């Protein structure tokens, strides 16, 4: 447990309520971050209220069903029926919460500037109802300084002061959808408060639910931690994607190169090329950092270059499709293309920022007729049009002029793909060791 130190009456009350599990927890935003967090708090014995603006989500959750793959409906249903977890569209009960977590989206604008409008809207709702003794924690990924420069002034506008009248902290979400080993409970939780007392309060709350908390010296450090983590991945993926492009020109098997390099027991960590970056974090977070750096007069060249390389990969894959079809004396225009997997990573149903969507757009602009198969994604929307997934079968494979492996779902039988697809572009090394005509690998 975290050492509490000296506290005033409202502070002491907060710590007591956390310790005896009588503290009420509010989660604003019940998506891939908020809902798993709400479940962990409820599972630990806290009463949790989820605040949403999506009426459909509220209805589904209050019926005891889950819409997040990593949250089992059976467990969620038990928590809802026991009264430990509920969702609402009304923000009025924020006044009754002892702790409020903000878990809302933080997208980029088309200009690659941070869009913090969802954070501002959530903080605005809290500010109207803020009372002494509450803890407010921002979990949404954002640029360093957001908590101090945006959240704190909004919450203090009516006279209450962070660290004196209420607690305020930042704790970056760390979620890896579809990962069976690492989940909300066992991923170490970084916490930075606007004062040491705020850090202690947030640490006390999270340590009562999660396996490990990692206090840091400020909200800015905590905000920077998240951006470093995902920028590290983006830059290294950009590097290996550039190596893949280089190997393609030099007729070298990039997969063999990486596997051999990975045998080195020190100084090397394998990253793997692919058709582009997807998900909410890695394609977006580095640009939050580069945007903030520009405000300080610093040009983040590594970040911008990695973003350029990664964003080019769907175009490179389209070029590989053209090459594969040319070998069969066909062109992209008029060809039937089958995309295997539109989720941004294997074995999940999340299509946010998926490179498959960019690839589909590129191929269709070239005149191709594109369909997709994905056991986890029943449909996608393209230009507002709802497109259903095809059920993968030998006949569907044989009916396509070219099959593109974009996502390596375990549910795909790649032996069947290798046997029945006429031409294949393999972006994930799913057919490693298989030699056949009409196979082009990234």
> Which tokens hold the place of 308?
């350029």
Q: What is the CATH number of domain 9-217?
A: 3.40.50.720
Residue 127 clears pLDDT 60, i.e. is over it: yes
Average pLDDT over residues 272-276: 95
Question: What is the model's pTM?
Answer: 0.91
State mean pLDDT over 412-428. Answer: 96
Average pLDDT of span 200-222: 97
Collapsing DSSP to helix, strand or coil, 260 comes out as: helix
For residue 285, name the pLDDT band (cuts at 50, 70, 90): confident
pLDDT at 5: 43
In angstroms, rounded to a whole number, what is the distance separating the alpha carbons of residues 288 and 285?
A: 5
Q: Has residue 281 got a pLDDT over 90?
A: no
Please report, rounded to a whole number, the percentage of residues in the chain having pLDDT higher than 90.
83
Distance CA 95, CA 23 (A): 13
Residues 103-110: what's their mean pLDDT? 87
Identical fold, 9-217 and 271-441: yes
| Residue 185 contacts residue 211 (beta carbons within 8 Å) | yes
Residue among 115, 118, 107 nearest 52 (CA): 118
Mean model confidence pLDDT for the chain: 93
271-441 has which fold? Rossmann fold (3.40.50)
**pLDDT-based confidence at 2, cuts 50/70/90?**
very low
Per-residue confidence (pLDDT) for residue 247, from 0 to 100: 96
Q: Which residue has the higher pLDDT, 5 or 216?
A: 216
Looking at residue 274, its pLDDT comes to 96
| pLDDT value at residue 126 | 98
pLDDT at residue 8 in the model:
58
Instruction: Look at residue 3 in the predicted model and tell me its pLDDT.
Output: 43
Contacts 24+ apart (CB under 8 A), 198-203: 198/135, 198/162, 198/163, 198/167, 198/168, 198/169, 199/169, 200/2, 200/3, 200/4, 200/5, 201/11, 201/14, 201/15, 201/135, 201/167, 201/169, 202/135, 202/137, 202/167, 202/169, 202/171, 203/2
Residue owning tokens 């420069």: 149
CA distance 233 to 428: 17
| Mean pLDDT along residues 150-178 | 94
pLDDT of residue 279: 82
SS3 387: strand
User: Can you tell me the mean pLDDT for 21-36?
Assistant: 96
3-state secondary structure at position 255: helix
Q: What pLDDT does residue 93 have?
A: 95
The per-residue pLDDT for 7 is: 47
Quote the distance between the C-alpha of residue 424 and its chain's center.
Answer: 29
- Write down the catalytic residue from 103, 198, 247, 281: 281
Query: Is residue 190 a contact partner of residue 216, using CB atoms and an 8 Å limit?
Result: yes
For helices 73-81 and 55-62, angle between their N-to-C axes, nearest 10 degrees: 80
**Quick one: DSSP state of residue 84?**
S
Q: How far apart are CA 405 and CA 178, in angstroms?
A: 19
- Can you give the pLDDT at residue 39? 97
Can you read off the two tokens belonging to residue 395? 């006949």
Q: Is the dihedral of CA 304, 308, 309, 314 positive or negative?
A: positive
For position 71, what pLDDT does the model report? 94
Residue 202, helix vs strand vs coil: helix
The DSSP line for 401-412 is SEEEE-S--TTS
Higher pLDDT, 396 or 5: 396
**Strands 135-138 vs 336-340: parallel, antiparallel or unpaired:** unpaired
Report which of residues 409 and 11 the model is more confident about.
409
Q: Is 44 exposed, middle or buried, given 0-12, 13-18 or 19+ CB atoms closer than 10 A? A: middle
What the block records as the tokens of 26 is: 């509010």
| Residue 144 to residue 296: CA distance in whole angstroms | 11
Q: What are the extents of the domains in the chain?
A: 9-217, 271-441
- Report, as an integer, the average pLDDT of 51-78: 95
Residue 430 in this model has a pLDDT that exceeds 90: yes
> Within 13 A of 259's CA, how many CA atoms are on the CB side?
6
pLDDT at 6: 45
Residue 281 annotated among the catalytic residues of the structure: yes
pLDDT at residue 332 is higher than 50? yes
Residue 87: the pLDDT is 97
CA dihedral 59, 63, 68, 71 (to 10 degrees): 150
Average pLDDT over residues 369-373: 97
State the Cα torsion 61-67-69-73 to the nearest 10°.
40
Per-position b or e across 396-427, b if 16+ CB within 10 A of its CB: bbeebbbbbbbbbbeebebeebbebbbbbbbb
pLDDT at 253 over 70: yes
Give me the residue label for tokens 């393609």: 248
pLDDT (average), residues 152-165: 96
């Amino acid at each position: 447990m975290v050492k509490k130190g000296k506290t005033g009456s409202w502070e002491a009350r907060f710590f007591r309520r956390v310790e005896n599990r009588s503290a009420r927890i509010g989660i604003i935003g019940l998506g891939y971050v908020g809902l798993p967090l709400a479940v962990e708090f409820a599972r630990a014995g806290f009463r949790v209220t989820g605040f949403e603006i999506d009426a459909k989500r509220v209805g589904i959750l209050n019926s005891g069903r889950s819409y997040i793959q990593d949250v089992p409906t059976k467990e969620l249903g038990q928590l809802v029926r026991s009264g430990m977890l509920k969702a609402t569209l009304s923000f009025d009960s924020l006044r009754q919460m002892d702790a409020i977590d903000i878990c809302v989206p933080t997208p980029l604008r088309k200009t690659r500037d941070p869009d913090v409008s969802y954070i501002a809207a959530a903080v605005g709702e809290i500010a109207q109802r803020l009372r002494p003794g509450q803890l407010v924690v921002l979990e949404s990924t954002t640029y360093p300084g957001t908590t101090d420069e945006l959240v704190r002034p909004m919450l203090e506008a009516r006279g209450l002061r962070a660290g004196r009248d209420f607690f305020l902290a930042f704790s970056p979400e760390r979620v890896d959808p579809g990962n069976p080993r690492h989940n909300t409970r066992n991923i170490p939780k970084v916490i930075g408060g606007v004062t040491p007392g705020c850090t202690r309060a947030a640490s006390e709350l999270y340590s009562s639910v999660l396996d490990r908390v990692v206090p840091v010296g400020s909200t800015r450090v905590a905000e920077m931690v998240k951006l470093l983590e995902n920028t590290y991945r983006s830059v290294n993926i950009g590097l290996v994607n550039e190596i893949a492009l280089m190997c393609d020109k030099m007729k070298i098997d990039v997969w063999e190169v990486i596997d051999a390099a990975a045998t080195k027991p020190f100084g090397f960590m394998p990253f793997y090329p692919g058709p582009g970056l997807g998900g909410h974090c890695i394609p977006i977070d580095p640009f939050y950092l580069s945007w903030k750096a520009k405000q300080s007069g610093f040009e983040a060249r590594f970040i911008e270059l990695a973003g350029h390389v990664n964003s080019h990969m769907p175009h490179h894959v389209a070029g590989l499709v053209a090459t594969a079809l040319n070998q069969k004396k066909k062109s992209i225009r008029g060809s039937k293309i089958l995309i295997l997997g539109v989720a941004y990573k294997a074995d999940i149903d999340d299509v946010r920022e998926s490179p498959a969507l960019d690839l589909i757009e590129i191929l269709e602009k070239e005149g191709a007729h594109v369909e997709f198969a994905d056991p986890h994604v029943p449909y996608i929307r393209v230009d507002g049009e709802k497109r259903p997934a095809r059920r993968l079968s030998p006949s569907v494979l044989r009916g396509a002029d070219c099959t593109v492996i974009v996502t390596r779902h375990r549910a795909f039988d790649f032996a069947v793909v290798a046997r029945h697809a006429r031409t294949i572009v393999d972006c994930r090394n799913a057919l490693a060791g298989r030699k056949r005509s009409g196979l082009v690998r990234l």
